[in-house]
Structure 1
Amino acid sequence: MSDSGPVLPWLVIRQDDNGNRYRVGRYATEDEAQKIADSLHARGRHEQLYVVERISQPAL
């Protein structure tokens, strides 16, 4: 935790077959984000790709 709130550096991104990318959510751990991405992929359409990415932390 920081003064600005919880640190959620892991993103789940949905990418469609046209290359459009949308942020699905932010998560505290890579494992948590991957579980969400896996569950979305399992019930999603074949044109959807769910990826996990870490956002860069701003320099202090």
Structure 2
Amino acid sequence: MHDELSVLRESYGHKTLKSFMLATELFEFNEEETAKGGLRVVYKLSQATKINHAQKAELE
């Protein structure tokens, strides 16, 4: 995992995977409260990305 994070840092200027994912705008992020009062970050593929991917698959 260390090598992959090094590539993100060197190639794209992002120190974390979350930072990279936010920059791509391919994902939607939400925070949920856990039972112990903490926060959990939940992400999913954005709706626009799903549509674009589906359209591309239909063309092939």
TM-score normalised by structure 1 residue count:
0.31
Larger relative contact order (Cα-Cα within 8 Å, sequence gap ≥ 6): 1
Larger proportion of helix: 2
**Looking at CA atoms only, which structure, 1 or 2, has the larger radius of gyration?**
2
**Structure with more of its chain in strand, by fraction:** 1
Q: TM-score, normalised by structure 2?
A: 0.31
